[in-house]
Amino acid sequence: MAWEKDVLLVHNEAGARGFLRDLEGGEPVFVCVIGNTETAKIPGISAAGRNPELTDYTPAADVELLLYGECRCIDGVPVTPEGIPTPALITRAALTLADIPVFVVNGGVRVKPLAPFIDVAGNPGADIRTGRAVEGVARVIERAEIAGASFAKAVDYLVVGESIPGGTTTALGVLLAMGVNARGLVSSSMPVNPHELKVRVVEEGLRAAGVKPGDLSGDPVAAVSAVGDPMIAAFAGFVMGAASSKPVVMAGGTQMTAVLSVIKGLKPEVLDNVAIGTTRWIAQDRSSDVRRLVSQIWDVPVVAANLDFSGSQIEGLRAYESGVVKEGVGAGGVTVAATLKTDGKVACDDVRRKVEEEYGRLITMRLQQHSTRIHAT
Amino acid sequence: MAWEKDVLLVHNEAGARGFLRDLEGGEPVFVCVIGNTETAKIPGISAAGRNPELTDYTPAADVELLLYGECRCIDGVPVTPEGIPTPALITRAALTLADIPVFVVNGGVRVKPLAPFIDVAGNPGADIRTGRAVEGVARVIERAEIAGASFAKAVDYLVVGESIPGGTTTALGVLLAMGVNARGLVSSSMPVNPHELKVRVVEEGLRAAGVKPGDLSGDPVAAVSAVGDPMIAAFAGFVMGAASSKPVVMAGGTQMTAVLSVIKGLKPEVLDNVAIGTTRWIAQDRSSDVRRLVSQIWDVPVVAANLDFSGSQIEGLRAYESGVVKEGVGAGGVTVAATLKTDGKVACDDVRRKVEEEYGRLITMRLQQHSTRIHAT
C-alpha cells in the first residue's frame, strides 16, 4: 500500500486494514462539527485560545480558516496561551492538497462563523458543573442524523471532525456518567494534562445532576444533557445518520470515545462502519490512552496520521512534538483521508510542508496588516 | 434515449440534448433554497398557502415534507386557498423513487423548518413596495457561493429548487429593475395570472427605491436588495459556486430567469454549465413565457418534465392541468433528474402514481389525527 508509512494502525489492526482498504480511492467529504461550552472558561481547562474568553471564537475561526484560508472573526489564527497555532492549519493543508470539500455543522456555538454552516438547532453548552450542560440534545441528535444520512447518500465516505474548546473535559463527563473508566485517560491540549482538575469538574457536575458515575450508562441523551457538550450531540447524530450506509472516519482524539459511547447507546449497529482517525501525537501520548478507552466501549479500528513536526523550522509547529495541542479540527483523520484519496501522493511530509508554507503566509499577512494599520494612523 | 418521452426540450434544443447527455447516469443532489417575503401577503399575489398569513409556513413545511414525508410545522400539507396541494409532493415522490438526497438552504425565512438546514446568514424579505426588500444580499450570495462550491466538489451534478410564496412577483421586480422586458411574462400559482397587480406592486417598489426599469441592469445586488427576495440571492450565489465546476439544473419556472439575470451580472462564465428544468405546465403555460424571458437574458437550455395529471383520480392533482400551482419546490427539475438517474426507469407516470399514493397516505393520516383528537376530547 502506498500509504503504509503514513498511516499508523493504532488499535484493532485487522479491522483497521479492512476499513482503510474500503476507503482507498474513494471521494470523501470532511464535516467539522463545532460547539462551545462554558466549561472551557474554567481556569486551567483549555488551551484552545490565547485566554479563556477567546475560546468562544476558536471554533468559528477554525472553520473560517478551513473555508477561506484565513480567519475572519479574529485576527491571525487561534493559538494556545503560548502562541502555538491551531491544528486547523494541518486540516486546511490536507484538505487543500487532496481537494477534499468541507462542510460545517453548528452543534451550538456562542460565536457563529462568518461562513455557511448546517444548523441542527443546537445551542451553546453551559458549564458542566451546573449538571445541566446541554439543552435539546435529542432534537440536535435527530436533526444531525438526518443531515448525516443525506451526505452519506451523496458521497463515498465521510470524515467528521470537531472544534470545541474544553471538549476533553466534557468528554470525560459523558464517559464517567456512562460508566466508562476514563479517569486519567482523556487527552489534553496542554503540555501537562490537568487530570485532577477535570475529574473534579466532572464530579461536581455529576453531583449537581444528582447522579453517580455509571448511573447514566443506559441513557446517553441524559449523560450529554447533564455533563456533555453540544458538539458531542451533533457529532453522534451525524455519524448515526451517515454510518448507516457509508464508512465514517471519526476524526479526533479521546473525545471521540465519548461520541462512541453515545452512539453505542443509541444505534450500535452503525459502529461496524466506523473507525477513529487521529494523530501520532494522540496515539503515542503518555498522558492519555485512546486504546484503553476504545476497548471499554466498542472495538472500532483506530488509525493515526504519522505526522512528525520535529524537523520543522517553525517553533510553533515543533511544539506539537512536546505534546501541546496534539489534535483537533479533524487534523489526523483528514490527513489520513488525504493520503488515501491520493494513493499516497499526499504524504504526511507534504502536509507538514504545506502547513509551514501557509503558516508563513498567514504570519506575513498579519505583519502587513499591522504595518498597514501603523501607516494608516 | 430511455427518457425521450419524459423530458421535453423547451428551449435551445441542441444545448438541452448535450446538457442532458452529460447528466445521464450521474448522481445528483437536490438543494432546496427557501425564503419568505412580505410581498406574499399582498392580497391576490400568492396562492402558496391557504391564506396570506399561512404563506410564512409554506417553505418550512415544504422542506419538512421532502425530508420526513410529512410536514411538522403545520398539519397536513401546504395548499392553495382552493385546497390544491403543494408541488413538494411531486418533488418528494421523484426524490424517493430515485433515491436522491436533499439539502435545504435557508435564504431567509420567517418560520424555520424543524429540520437541518444550511445557514447563509439570510433574513426574511420585506414587502418590495418599500423599495428595500432584502438586507445583506452580497453577504448571502458570498456564503451561498461557498456552499455551492463545496457541494460541487462532492457530487456529479446539482439540482437546485426553491420555495418562496410571492416569488414570481419579486422575480418580476428583479427582471424589470435589470431591464428585462418581463411584463406579462412571469408565471403564477393562481389559475388567473394577476399580471397587472404584480406590475403595479413592482412599480411602486421601484419608485420607492428611486429607480426606473432597467436602471439596475448592471447591479444585480442592488436590484435584489430593492425589489427582490432572499431566495434569489441565495439561489444565485449557490449556483455561482456550484456551476463553476459541475452542471446545475435550476429547477423552477419563470422565477429562474430572475436568478439567471443576477448570475449573468455577477459571474456569467458559469452559465455554460446551467440549464433550467421545469414542468410541462410551465412550458405550455399561456399566461407566461419562460422562453421569451430566457432569450432576453442568456440562452441556457430549458427542459421540462412531461408530467400529466389529467388522468388522476385525485381532484387536487387534476387541478394542475387547469393551470393552478404549475411548479415549485424543484418539482420539474427533480422529476427530470429522477428520470435521468434511473435511465428512464422512473418515468413521469411513476412519479404521478407515487404522488397519488403519498397524497392518499397523508390524507388518511390527517383524518386519523382528527379522529384521535375528537376521541381524546
Cβ contact B116–A116 (<8 Å): no
Nearest residue in A to B115, CA atom: A143
What residues of chain A lie within 8 A of the CB of B112, using their CB? 119
Which residues of chain A are within 8 Å of residue B157 when distances are taken between CB atoms? Answer: none
Instruction: Tell me, yes or no, whether A48 lies in a domain.
Output: yes
- The answer to whether the CB atoms of B99 and A155 lie below 8 A apart is no
A:103-122 residues touching chain B, CB 8 A cutoff: 103, 106, 112, 114-121
Is B147 part of the contact surface with chain A (CB cutoff 8 Å)?
A: yes
Whether A1 is covered by a domain: the verdict is no
Query: Is residue B266 within 8 angstroms of chain A, CB to CB?
Result: no
Which of A29, A99, A147 lies closest to B116 in CB terms? A147
With CB atoms and an 8 Å threshold, state whether B117 touches A117: no
Chain A residues whose CB is inside 8 A of the B150 CB are: 101-103
> How close does chain B come to A111, measured CA to CA in Å?
13
CA–CA min distance A95, chain B (Å): 12
- DSSP state letter for A37: B
Please answer whether residues B171 and B202 qualify as being in contact, where contact means their C-beta atoms are separated by less than 8 angstroms. Answer: no
**pLDDT of B49:** 83
Contact call for A27 and B101, based on CB within 8 A: no
Q: CA geometry: angle at A174 spanning A170 and A179, to 5°?
A: 145
Give A88 to chain B, closest Cα distance, Å.
18
Q: What is the mean pLDDT of chain B?
A: 95
Whether A105 contacts A34, CB under 8 Å? yes
CA distance to A243, A261, A363, per residue, from A377 (Å) = 55, 55, 21
Instruction: Give residue B372's pLDDT band: very low, low, confident or very high (50, 70, 90).
Output: low
As a 3-state breakdown, chain B gives helix, strand, coil percent values, each rounded to 5, of: 50, 15, 35
In a domain, A36, yes or no: yes
Share of chain B above pLDDT 90, in %: 89
CATH of the domain at B101: 3.40.50.10210
Secondary structure E strands in chain B: 7-11, 28-35, 102-108, 117-119, 157-163, 248-251, 274-279, 302-305
A45 vs A11: CA distance, rounded Å:
28
**What's the number of domains chain B is made of?**
1
- Range(s) of the domain holding residue A232: 7-376
Contact A103, A144 (CB under 8 A): no
Distance in Å, alpha carbon of B120 to nearest chain A alpha carbon: 5
Please tell me which of the candidates B100, B147, B154 has its beta carbon nearest to residue A155: B154
Q: Using one digit for the tens of pLDDT, what is the confidence trace for B257-280? A: 999 999 999 999 999 999 999 999
- Cα dist. A131→A125, A165, A173, A175, A185 in Å? 11, 18, 10, 14, 22
Query: Measured between beta carbons, which residues in chain B are less than 8 angstroms from residue A115?
Result: 143, 146
In a domain, B360, yes or no: yes
> Once rounded to an integer, what is the mean pLDDT over residues B182-208?
95
| B85, pLDDT greater than 70 | yes
Residue A190 is assigned to a structural domain of this protein? yes
pLDDT surpasses 90 at B365: no
Which of the four pLDDT bands, split at 50, 70 and 90, describes residue B360? confident
Which grid cell sits at B97? 423513487
Query: What pLDDT shows up at residue A194?
Result: 95
Indicate whether A2 belongs to any domain. Answer: no
Which of A31, A68, A118, A142 should one mutate to test binding to chain B, selecting the residue with the greatest count of B CBs within 10 A? Answer: A118
- How far from chain centre, in Å, is Cα A291? 17
**Using a CB-CB distance cutoff of 8 angstroms, which residues of chain A are in contact with residue B337?**
none
Q: Give one DSSP letter per residue of B191-230, joined into a string.
A: SS--HHHHHHHHHHHHHHHT--TTTTTT-HHHHHHHH--H
Question: For residue A153, which residues of chain B lie inside 8 Å, CB to CB?
Answer: 29, 99-101
CB-CB under 8 Å, B153 with A100: yes
Letter string b/e over residues B74-111, b meaning 16 or more CB atoms within 10 A of that residue's CB: bebbbbbeeebbbbbbbbbbbbbbbebbbbbbbbbbbb
| Pick from A67, A121, A154: CB nearest B155 | A154
Closest partner CB to A146 (pick from B116, B120, B144): B116
B241 contacts chain A (CB < 8 A): no
Residues 6+ apart with CB under 8 A from B172: B182, B183, B186, B198, B199, B202, B258
The confidence score (pLDDT) of residue A30 equals 98
Does A362 fall in a domain? yes
Q: What is the pLDDT of residue B283?
A: 97
Residue with cell 447527455: B21
d(CA A49, CA A189): 10
The shortest C-alpha distance from B238 to chain A (Å) reads 11
Does A100 contact B67 at a Cβ distance shorter than 8 Å? no
End-to-end CA distance of chain B: 57
Q: What is the ipTM of this complex?
A: 0.95
- Cβ proximity of B254 and B158 under 8 Å: no
pLDDT averages per 10-residue partition of chain A, 377 residues: 90 98 96 98 90 94 97 94 94 98 98 98 98 98 98 97 98 98 93 94 98 98 98 98 98 98 98 98 96 98 98 93 94 98 96 95 75 53
Distance CA(B356)–CA(A47), nearest Å, equals 58
Please give the backbone phi and psi of residue B59, each rounded to the nearest 5 degrees, phi first: -65, -45
Cβ contact (<8 Å) for B27 and A154?
yes
The residue type found at B208 is A
Of the listed ranges A290-304, B153-167, B187-201, the one predicted with least confidence: B187-201
CB-based contact B154 A101, cutoff 8 Å: yes
pLDDT value of residue A370: 62
B63 assigned to some structural domain? yes
How distant, in Å, are the alpha carbons of A264, A358, B370 from that of B89?
36, 48, 21
Contact list, B155 vs chain A (CB under 8 Å): 154-155
| Banded pLDDT at B377 (limits 50, 70, 90) | very low
In chain A, the residue whose alpha carbon lies closest to the alpha carbon of B157 is A154
Tens of pLDDT, residues B209-224: 999 999 999 999 999 9
pLDDT value at B138 more than 70:
yes
Selected residue of B118, B159, B235, B240 to mutate for chain A interface (largest A Cβ count, 10 A):
B118
Q: Is A73 near chain B, with CB under 8 Å?
A: no
Question: Cα(B217)–Cα(B227) distance, rounded to whole angstroms?
Answer: 13
